[in-house]
Structure formats: structure tokens, C-alpha cells
Structure 1
């Protein structure tokens, strides 16, 4: 059930703007199953009217009606600066289907578009579609992508491109920015309605405490702390962690200038607009913590009625201080699993940090190193470990391998069992920029087969898939360390 406020201009009825001659670019069988859409042998809806709905050209299918599409206002901090009112500038919420909200991204202008045209291009839609489904397959909470519909209608970004509409799904698209919006307007009644809705529909366990709003805040913080730990563990960089891009359900949302690490650089910046590196890989946990502080500030009025302003601030500040602890526990657990440890030991964090520093110094491929580490035999002589060749400082990595093998032996690690366990958490396939770019270039020629192939590969990221082994390779030198823009 979508959150709506009758008579409130922050949720405005908005019809999608039709696009000429729509055609299917991609459809996700996994997402279709989630919402009960039957597909034919080509993995496209049996009900042909879905093309009209998911292009924004119609609102009804044989089994579903979407009579009340809308766009919402939210506010937020962008690059650390208060930006005031923002909103769904190119996203239109059609309504609910099978306990999911269905939203069209790129379906035309809304009241909150400001100076934008409300459109999305094929390039950015393919990237969001593939990454959404890839993240889901990796086990990372995310909005889902249902489809891409294309049109030859021209849209200008850096160059002239063609239009596309990406349909995405989520239990809710509510953001930290929605809380900031009502708080900034001092509209405490609407702020309370928003919090009460979230508690009723998504956080009912909060009602079992004496402080439901404080508990709501704690649970939102915990979800996002765990989320950013999962990003770090797969080398994912969001690229634009503004407070208005943070889900209160702890979902990865708003895929724009994102990127997965190829060569490991702890300070990698994936967004070329991020001149100061605010959203660099190593700063993501700190920035998510900062965004939770923005949420805490917005939620003060919810606790004030019972406690007064100062005590409300103290309660939220104390809850906020748990974020780094929650994050640290999740991060350590995830990296222990990546290294194949089945127990916890005091020196694990130091061992992990030494490895990451060595990987940074030698620009080692993040995904491939961890995947290949699982094949290591625990009694192999250090001189025979081929992974040493990835590192410039051979002496330092040899010392690390000595300690790593000793650590495995300390818990009587079984090589075969550890290999299987590590393969379950260390993906072989991620959405590397050069793979996405090739699929985009083919799609711009009306060949969508590469998009479909990538979707198939990325839907099973932990499987070997030997027929697609080339898709696990590091990028060619000219595609290393690519940065993308917000329109990407």
C-alpha cells in the first residue's frame, strides 16, 4: 500500500506522458514472478497490454488497474548542503501490485521536475535495470527492476540519445528525504502520519516497545548500517549518497553514477561530479551515518511531545551512536566470510586491513582476488601461491599469506568445505562498467541480446558458468577506473 496523503500537495496526481512507438528492451523474469506477471517463451508478458502500462502510455491491463498515479515531494541534503524541496522529478508511482509499489522512471515531467524534462535515456535505464537485478542476486537489499521500454524519441543529455522508461519495484519508495521534507515545513501532523504508516506496514515490531518512534529510528539505522557493510564487501560504490537517495527500508535505491570496483582503490570515486570525493568507496559508511543523523534531526518532533526537545535530541543521539557498532559488526562478519573463516579471532580485523592495504597498494582486482582465494590449499608452500603475482610488494604479501594460512589451520579449516563456502559469498560475476557499456552500445543499435545475456549471467553471480567465463575478467586497460555521471 503506497503512502498517500489525501489533499496534501506533497503527493500530486500525475499522469505519465506517452512515448511514441514503444518497444521492449528488457524484462526481468525474476521480478515478473515477484508480482505475478506471466511471461511467454521470449520472457515477455503474455498480456500485451503491459507494454502500454510500462511505457506510460496506458494505465490498465487485463488484471490490473492503476487509477491513481502520483509523484511525491521530498527534500534533502545534496553533497552535504541543504537543497530544500526536491521530489520525484522523473519518477511516477503507478500504484500497488502484489505487495510491491510499481514506479516508472523516465515517464515524463512531474510537478517536482524543476528544470528537468522528466525523461530517462536508454543508457542509464540499462545500467539501473542490470544493477538492480544484479544486487538482488548478490543478496543485497535493493529496489527491483521489472522492465525497460524504449522509444526512438530523442532526449538530450551530454549528447542526443533515445528515451527509455525503466519500471522498478519496491515495498516502498519512502526516503529519508520525505521525513526531512515534512520536518522542514514544520508539518508535524504529516510527519507523524508518515512515521505511523511505516510502523504499521513495514516496522510493526516497533509497536512492541514503549518508544515506537525511537525504535523506528533504530531499526532504519540498523538496516542502512548493514546495507552499507554489504556494499563494502562486494566493492559497490553508490556514487551519490545524498539524504534524499536513502531508503528508510534500507534498500539500495537510485542507481545513477554507481560502479563496482575493478582494481581495488580504497578511495575510488565513481562519480565524476564528486570533485571532493565525498562519496568515495571508503567514505560510504561515514556518509550513511551522516544521513542517519539527518533522519534523526527530522524525527525530533515525533519524540518532543513526550520528552521535550532536549531529551528527544539526547535519545536520538544515543541511538545514532549505535550505527558505527552495527556497521563494524556486519563488516567484520562479511569479510571473515569472504576469507573463509568459520570462527572469530581477535586479530582478524588487523589481518583483513593488512590485506586491503596490500590490495590498494598493488591495485589488485577486488572481485577476482577473493574468488580465487577460495581455491587456495592451506598447506601449499608460500612460493607456490600464484596470487602472490598480483602484488608489487612480494615480501609483504608473503608475510600476509603466512599469517592467513596459520589462521586457517588454527580452526582446522577443510579446504573443500571452505572453497564451497567462499564461493557462496564471493561472486564471480559483477556488473563491471565495460560490460554494461558494451551492452549499451549494442542496444543503441537495437540489438538487446547482450542486455539479456548479462541479466542471465548476473542473476547467478556465484555460479561458475564456464560458458561465460570471459565476463568475469578484469576490464581492458582503457576501461580501468572509469567514472560516470549522474545521467549515466
Structure 2
């Protein structure tokens, strides 16, 4: 392998006459101001490390063709059809609570969009494809380990029914990348409903160009909330849609003990999909205060903090939308045109053409709109808490087999079991999966064995069993297999250090069917061994 500096520059590739994926370019066409045409770094020796046949089938593309030499050249962005121009997307972001006005795709490119078999528009996106104008001095590359982590987590989330980006492929580049040492390089081919983030709207809003913000919002509505287009105030309806989607997403994370690790506004999607699995982890021993990311010094993104962080990010989203939030679409178009006309007048030096009275009236109208926008956004955001609580409690009732039980009766049982698990540091996944057996047979079950002093558990279980838990329903929502941290690290180390994909393939076989207990997979349901030690994740950039 060679340590290479990726080629950068204007878009260019060796064009081909046909394409294994019929790409569209809706984002780049609708908001070109947020799309920088660019080309991927050359990958001279691509090697397919992981591929999702099921995702290829969903997309309606030929898996065999994509796995060929020509297909890999397409997926790396090196040989694209005429008219296909990858773009780096611009966005801002609050990271660790601090605003960075210019982030963007520093090591990623949007190849384009494809309409899948279900008629949904999906992004085809590269990660680790080389430096872009947003790289801020970094090499824009990626290593095998972090890209395979994305693949594992995407497959697991899909199987668990949690919205998230998925990886179509991970491709080894034959290039060594410099991190703490030299690591084998890889490129991720990521698929998502879109890569529109809260940070995308922050970037557009900060530009001061109302027309760009409006077009971005219209693009997002068409893709993710078409019903909002029919509302009198479509941008408010869109915001409400995103609030609901994010409340449901973070509740789903909490149900499975998932800790994202880097919940910045540029990692908060308007589609309600999980994005960026870099420093993520799953809880083993239940401790709501846990976090794992090496760069999270104060636990800002700890497990129990995740709902409040999502709400905070949604407040930043509202701020970005304020200029158009209370407007109809026609009003937004007119407001953008008026803003452009006044900007042109200022450039010509005749901004004084309006009399003082007209300017005063305009300012009063703008102030009134701003006040109204804040009121509407505040009311919408205040619904996040109840929406999250309802979704979370509904999911916890399902995990306990109590979907048929009224919330007032189930709530003390939910609170009680979480308190017990915290005190005992019981394994989160193992407990809920084993609890189904306790519903059927009572004492001497796997769930009971997780408590050093089981008397308190038995008192709780007596109250729970009196509510008539449904074991079959529990086993349908409580996974036996998740991407346990020690198994993920084992698979990534084997792939990176020894080019051995066996542990990866065996782990994928388990997590792709998380609810079906199968012989020979007992170690994939077990917590980490004692010598695994405290777990720390790294983003891999």
C-alpha cells in the first residue's frame, strides 16, 4: 500500500456510457448555492469489504454489476456517466454547544439521488472520498475500522426498525491513511432519505439569502413532509413534522440503550434518521449517566441527556427557520423577492428611494413577523416533551409486555424496573430479553440472575406479573443480539489489522436478525468479559 495524498479539484472523471444506478440531482438543482461540485479522490485498487444485497434490492440496482470492477469504479466516484457531478454539501453546526458557521462535507460527496423500488428518493453518498473545500486542512479520507462500524450499525438499526442511514458498501482503497498511526483506508457508500441536517438550514439562514432558505425548505418538504405543502403555513407544518420525527427517533434510541456520542446540529437530520455512527455505543451495564466518546469531556451527550439535547438542537432549527416560519409559500416567495430587490438597490446606491414612512412600516411588519414566528416555534417545540414521553413510555410498555395495560398502571412498573437495573448495573439488553422467560415461569430465570440481591427484583416482578405481560410480544421487541461494543471492536480489529472479515460477517449474521435466537450465537448475546474494561469510542476522523 502507498500513503497517498488524494487528488482534489474540479469535477472530472473518466465518463462511461451507462450507469449501474440512474442518478438524479435534485439537491444540487434546487439549492446549488449549498452544493460545491467536486470530484472524489482516485482509488487505484478498490476492494469490496462489505456489501448489502438487501439494500441494493431495495434500491432496484444490480448487486452483481455494482460489485464488478466497473461498479466499484462507479461507487468510488472515479468513473461516472456524463452529466453526473458529485457535490460537497454545505452546512453549519453547533458542536458541544458552540456554533461553527462553516462545516460541510469535509470528507464526503453526494453522488446524487435514486428513486428506489418503493418510489422513495434516496441519497447515494460517499464518505472518505477525499478532501473538499470544506476539509479545513484535513485529508478527507477514512480508515477501514470507522467505515465498517458505520456498516455494522446501519444494518443493525435497519433490523431493529430504527430509522438510520445504511451502508450500501464499504470499499477498501488500497491506501494507508495517517491517524495516530498508519491505517488501511476505506470509503463508505452511504444511503439515506437525505443528508439534510439542522446544520444545513443554519448554513442557509446564516447566508442572509431568504430565497435560498425558502428553496431549501421547499426541497425538504417535498422529500420528507409532502403533507406540509398543503398546510396554510407549510414551513411551520414542516417544523412540527421534524419535531415529531426527532422525538420518535430519540425514544427509539433510548429503548435499545443506544448512545449516539456526537449529537451536534449537523448530525440531527430533518428526515428523522440516525446519522454518523462514529463514536456511538450500546449500554451494557445499565447506567443512565454513561457516555463513551473520547471527545465528550463532560458527558454532554450521555445516554440520559439525549432527549434534552435533541430538543436543544430543534430550538436551533427553529431559529434558522424564523424568517419564513409564519409565512405562506407565496408570502415567502414575495418576501425573498423583496429582500433581493432591496439588496440590488443598495448595491446601486439608491436604497434611499423609499420614503421614511415606508421603511418604518416595513420594519414594523418585520418585527411583528419575528414575534409571531417565535410564538409559533415555541409552541411547536414545547410539544416535543410530551411527544417524546408518550413515545418512550409506549415503547417501554411494549418491552415489558404491557402494551395492553393503561399507562397509569404501567408507569410505576417502568420506573421501578429502571431503578432496580440502575442499582444492580444489570445488563440492559440481556435483562429485557431474559425477562420474557420470567413472564412465563417466574423464579430461576435469566433476568433474575442479573441481580446480586434478587429479593427487590422479585417484589417488582410480582407487581409486573399481576399485569399479565405478554411474552411473545416482548420477544418481538426485545433483541437478543445487538452490536455489542466488544464484538464490534473485535470485528474491526480483525478487519483492520489482519484483513480478516470473518468476525465481521459473523457479527452481521447475528445483528441482521436481532430477535431470533439461534444455536451457535450465544456469545453474541453475552455482555463484555470483565477484562474488556471501560469502553471509549473515537470518531475516526
Query: Normalised by the size of structure 2, how large is the TM-score?
Result: 0.84
Map of 1:469 onto structure 2: 522
CA shift in 2, pair 1:127/1:401, >3 Å: same
Deviation at 1:434, TM superposition (A): 1.1
Q: Structure 1 residue aligned with 2:75, among 26, 42, 54? A: 54
Deviations 1:423-448 (A, max 9, x none): 11001111111111111122121222
Say whether residues 1:339 and 2:356 are aligned partners.
no
Q: 1:230 to 1:463 in 2, by over 3 A?
A: same
1:372 aligns with 2:434: yes
Cα deviation for residue 47 of structure 1 reads: 4.3
Aligned-partner Cα distance in 1 for 2:492–2:76: 19
- Distance in 1 between the 2:63 and 2:326 partners? 51
Which residue in 2 is equivalent to 1:4? 28
Q: Deviations over 1:297-334 (max 9, x none)?
A: 11100035566110110011000000011100100000
**Cα deviation per residue 1:161-188 (whole Å; 9 max; x = unaligned)?**
1110010001211100011111122221
**What is the Cα deviation at residue 284 of structure 1?**
0.3
CA–CA separation in structure 2 for the residues paired with 1:378 and 1:457:
25
CA contact (8 A) 2:437 2:445 kept: no
* Superposed CA offset, 1:324-345 (max 9, x none): 1110010000000000012224
Structure 2 counterpart of 1:146: 168
2:451 is matched with which residue?
A: 391
Q: Is the 8 A contact 2:437 2:446 kept in 1?
A: no
Change (3 A) 1:328 1:94: same
Question: For 1:370-394, what per-residue CA distance to the aligned partner results, in whole angstroms no more than 9, with x for missing partners?
Answer: 00111124563x5x45533312343
Decide whether the 8 Å contact of 2:430 with 2:447 is kept in 1. Answer: no
Structure 2 regions of 5+ residues with no counterpart?
Answer: 1-24, 116-120, 332-367
Equivalent residues in 2 for 1:21-60 (5 A)? 21-40=45-64, 45=66, 47-60=68-81
Map of 1:358 onto structure 2: 420
- TM-aligned CA deviation for residue 197 of structure 1: 1.1
RMSD: 1.9
The answer for the alignment partner of 1:238 in structure 2 is 260
Instruction: Specify the SS of the correspondent of 1:153.
Output: strand
| 1:14 matched residue in structure 2 | 38
The answer to whether structure 1 residue 458 and structure 2 residue 475 are counterparts is no
| TM-score, L = length of structure 1 | 0.92
Aligned to 1:402: 462
Does structure 1 retain, via aligned residues, the 8 Å contact 2:31–2:215?
no
Report what 2:106 is aligned to.
Answer: 89
How far apart, CA to CA, are the structure 2 residues paired with 1:300 and 1:292?
Answer: 12
Which range is displaced more, 28-37 or 268-277?
A: 28-37
Cα distance in 1 for partners of 2:195, 2:439 equals 46
What is the rounded CA distance, in whole Å, between the counterparts of 1:46 and 1:362 in structure 2?
48
The alpha-carbon deviation at position 68 of structure 1 amounts to 1.2
**Equivalent residues of 1:21, 1:151 under 8 A apart:** yes
Q: Is 2:164–2:273's contact at 8 Å kept on the other side of the alignment? A: yes
1:312 to 1:59, Cα distance in 2 relative to 1, 3 A: same
Q: Following superposition of structure 1 onto structure 2, how do residues 305-324 of structure 1 map, counting pairs within 5 Å? A: 308-324=369-385
Contact 1:2 1:172 in 2 (8 A): no
Structure 1 stretches (4+) deviating beyond 6 angstroms? none
